[in-house]
Chain A
Amino acid sequence: MIQFLNVTKFYESQAAIKNITLTIEKGELAFLTGPSGAGKSTLLKIIYLSERPDEGNVTIADWDLSKLKESSIPFLRRNIGVVFQDFRLLDNRNVFDNVAMTLRIQGALEDEVKERVMDILKIVNLRHKADSFPKALSGGEQQRVVIARAIVGEPTILLADEPTGNLDSDTASGISRLFKDINATGTTVLIATHNKELFRNTGRRVIRLDNGNITGEEIG
């Protein structure tokens, strides 16, 4: 589903990831871990095409990114749901509209938008907050809105960048369960985290990154 072949990315001559070769299988739930600055976010950014690799080749669901036309980028991004580290919620829109944004961008009809958004908000247990604005929500609630926005378009891949950062352990384990449920529906899930609790005893693949290199793999 996701394949990195000798991928390197530089930021002002400093390599953020170096010669990475990695495969994430279709339907897999895997974790990327490592200290801050290890290159986890850069790797995710390359997958959701926010950054371009300087060297190597990336293939996502049969799309060769080096051959991808710029006009095709939006259509590939619609297949990738992203839980951003900084949430990227729109403060001037309520929870419903933030989640609905994904579907409206895809051109869904308003009746369909209403139905699917309410269903997803029920899954993340935020139906009662549909009219609230992000600033009025707790960190955990905001995180669940972001997850709802990422999965409402039924993507084939879900990426999450530090999804439990700054959350208490109860909320974090709730979010972790949510990812497992999403993965159970067949969605490929890749989570970048330095929170060991998130992958401990999951039986899932954990890829260790340090200083831009893959330093090891283990089963969590």
Chain B
Amino acid sequence: MYLLYSLKLAMQSIWREKWINLLSMLTIGAGLFMITLTFLIVYNMDLATKKLPEKFSMMLYLNEGVSEQDAENIAAGLKRNPAIERAKYISKDKALEELKGILKNSAYVLEGINENPLPASIEIKLNRKSIGVSSVKTLAADFKKIKGVEEVEYGERFLNSIHSIKTGVQTLSLVVIGIMSVGIIFVCYSTVKIMFYRRKEEIETFKLLGATKGFIRAPFVIEGSILGAFGGLVSAACMLAFHYALFYKLVPIMPILKIVVFPSEIFAALPLVGLVLGINGAIISIGKIRFY
């Protein structure tokens, strides 16, 4: 029953200090907007790197003397490795044929070459889970030890760069999200603390009349959650405007932005995230209640 009364007290307090509360909501909204932007960058980055395994392959170039049968045996052996999804043998002739296909408009490049200079090879596609900087490096070293394999090639630098960028962006995003979240909690903390001090005498009277800690805390927690949730709604509105600007105003000018993925769940999640941060800020600001 007292929750209804606490809700009434919280609403009265919000109305009484409407300007402070409005400012807090806008600040929380701005913070959550920044967090969401950062999240969108990480989310899109993650999606892009998840597509990488579809394009990633390793090439095992074989020695000149390796027979077709031996090469097929090597490929069959590789297929038994759980890290490998597919291993395809490409003979010297097939490799030349593929090269000719690629150079069909510049066929003169191959004129005058009497002997096929291309080595036979095995093209390997790795499992999604096995594509990591260190695991690929280890696999490459293992493959190089296979009898008949002369050279192992994969986009080492490309893989390293992607990994570094991904790690860098993730770390930076975590830092930004962490700082902004702490900032939002601090805004709720400060606002509720101000309300708490303004009502200190009232709270003392409540205690003497037999109020429990729950009864004293509830209006402040409700107030913090309302501030957080409304801050979340403010940021959701800003996000909606950003979504509109991005897809309806910027995409026609810069079509590449069409690849940006914008999960619609964000709009529902923002008030909830605000609510949780608001409750946390309020609980921290009230602290321990003593009866003596």
Interface 9-residue window, one of B83-91, B210-218, B242-250, B277-285: B210-218
Q: Does A50 contact B (CB under 8 A)?
A: yes
Contact B211 A74 (CB under 8 A): yes
Could you pull out 25 A-B pairs where Cβ atoms are within 8 angstroms?
A: A48-B208, A49-B292, A50-B208, A51-B292, A52-B292, A70-B290, A71-B212, A71-B213, A74-B210, A74-B211, A74-B212, A74-B213, A74-B291, A75-B210, A77-B210, A78-B210, A82-B208, A88-B204, A101-B205, A101-B209, A102-B209, A105-B2, A105-B211, A105-B215, A107-B2
Contact A88 B211 (CB under 8 A): no
**How near does chain A come to B290, taking the closest CB pair, in angstroms?**
8
Q: Does B156 contact A (CB under 8 A)?
A: no
Q: Does A66 contact B (CB under 8 A)?
A: no
Complex: A119 Cα to B262 Cα, angstroms: 61
Q: Is the interface of B mostly helix, strand, loop or mixed?
A: helix
Contact A88 B208 (CB under 8 A): yes
Contact A49 B291 (CB under 8 A): yes
- List B residues at the A interface (Cβ < 8 Å): 1-2, 5, 201-202, 204-213, 215, 290-292
Contacts of A84 in B (CB 8 A): 208
Contact B292 A105 (CB under 8 A): no
- List A residues at the B interface (Cβ < 8 Å): 48-52, 70-71, 73-75, 77-78, 82, 84, 88, 90, 101-102, 104-110, 149, 153
Contacts of B206 in A (CB 8 A): 101, 105
Complex: A70 Cα to B205 Cα, angstroms: 17
Contacts of A73 in B (CB 8 A): 291
Contacts of A74 in B (CB 8 A): 207, 210-213, 215, 291
Contacts of A82 in B (CB 8 A): 208
Complex: A73 Cα to B290 Cα, angstroms: 10
Contacts of A75 in B (CB 8 A): 210
Contacts of B215 in A (CB 8 A): 74, 105
**How near does chain B come to A173, taking the closest CB pair, in angstroms?**
27
Query: Given A52-B292, A73-B291, are A105 and B208 also a contact pair (CB < 8 Å)?
Result: no
Complex: A48 Cα to B205 Cα, angstroms: 12
Contacts of A107 in B (CB 8 A): 1-2
Contact B1 A102 (CB under 8 A): no
Complex: A47 Cα to B204 Cα, angstroms: 16
Contacts of B204 in A (CB 8 A): 88
A101-B206, A101-B209, A102-B210 provided; 11 other pairs, C-beta below 8 A?
A49-B291, A71-B213, A74-B211, A74-B212, A74-B213, A77-B207, A77-B209, A101-B205, A104-B2, A105-B210, A105-B215
Query: Given A49-B292, A70-B291, are A105 and B209 also a contact pair (CB < 8 Å)?
Result: yes
Contacts of B1 in A (CB 8 A): 107-110
Complex: A75 Cα to B292 Cα, angstroms: 14
**How near does chain A come to B198, taking the closest CB pair, in angstroms?**
10
Contact A90 B208 (CB under 8 A): no
Contact A90 B211 (CB under 8 A): no
**How near does chain B come to A52, taking the closest CB pair, in angstroms?**
6
Query: Given A73-B291, A74-B210, are A88 and B2 also a contact pair (CB < 8 Å)?
Result: no
Complex: A37 Cα to B279 Cα, angstroms: 45
Complex: A101 Cα to B202 Cα, angstroms: 11
Complex: A74 Cα to B210 Cα, angstroms: 4
Contacts of A52 in B (CB 8 A): 292
Contact A90 B202 (CB under 8 A): yes
**How near does chain B come to A102, taking the closest CB pair, in angstroms?**
5
Complex: A88 Cα to B209 Cα, angstroms: 10
**How near does chain A come to B241, taking the closest CB pair, in angstroms?**
39
Complex: A90 Cα to B205 Cα, angstroms: 8
Complex: A155 Cα to B50 Cα, angstroms: 69
Contacts of B212 in A (CB 8 A): 71, 74
Complex: A104 Cα to B284 Cα, angstroms: 26
Contact B205 A88 (CB under 8 A): yes
Which of A74, A107, A108 has the largest count of B CB atoms less than 10 A from its CB? A74
Complex: A187 Cα to B207 Cα, angstroms: 22
Complex: A132 Cα to B202 Cα, angstroms: 18
Contacts of B208 in A (CB 8 A): 48, 50, 77, 82, 84, 88
Complex: A153 Cα to B211 Cα, angstroms: 13
Complex: A207 Cα to B244 Cα, angstroms: 79
**How near does chain B come to A148, taking the closest CB pair, in angstroms?**
13
**How near does chain B come to A141, taking the closest CB pair, in angstroms?**
18
